[in-house]
């Protein structure tokens, strides 16, 4: 089974975010939280703001529009957020981040 490459680890600075497109038009937000990589839905479930415009602090992602926050390990709300995030499992192999198969 072929792996789906999301990006290179060097493409995302520590505590940085990057929008990637897979399967033609599905957008994901790939996150480098201090060297640990995560991926989630690209748009905030509240009002559709791009999450790649947010901020990573430790293992928390914050949407800057209305300060909704989520735990990157589970996608669960850690603050004002009223909905969880859909997380997509990833794996790092060498210098590349892939969808986890």
> Over the stretch 1-11, which tens digit does the pLDDT of each residue have?
678 999 999 99
Instruction: With respect to residue 75, please indicate whether it lies within any of the assigned structural domains.
Output: yes
b/e burial code for range 59-89 (CB count within 10 A of at least 16 → b): bebbbeeeebbbbbeebebeeebeeebebbe
pLDDT tens string 65-94: 999 999 999 999 998 999 999 999 999 999
pLDDT tens string 55-69: 999 999 999 999 999
**For residue 18, what is the domain's CATH number?**
2.102.10.10
Instruction: With respect to residue 6, please indicate whether it lies within any of the assigned structural domains.
Output: no
Q: Could you give the CA distance from residue 43 to residue 41 in angstroms, rounded to a whole number?
A: 6
Instruction: With respect to residue 77, please indicate whether it lies within any of the assigned structural domains.
Output: yes
Q: What is the pTM of this model?
A: 0.94
The domain tally of the chain equals 1
pLDDT for the residue numbered 23:
85
pLDDT for the residue numbered 24:
85
pLDDT tens string 10-25: 999 999 999 999 988 8
């Amino acid at each position: 089974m072929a792996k789906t490459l999301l990006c290179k680890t060097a493409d995302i600075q520590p505590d940085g975010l990057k929008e990637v497109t897979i399967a033609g038009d599905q957008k994901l937000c790939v996150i480098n939280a201090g060297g640990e990589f995560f991926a989630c839905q690209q748009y905030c479930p509240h009002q559709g703001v791009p999450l790649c415009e947010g901020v990573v602090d430790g293992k928390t992602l914050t949407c800057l529009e209305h300060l909704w926050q989520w735990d990157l390990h589970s996608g669960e709300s850690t603050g004002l957020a009223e909905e969880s995030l859909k997380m997509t499992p990833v794996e790092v192999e060498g210098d590349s981040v892939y969808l986890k198969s």
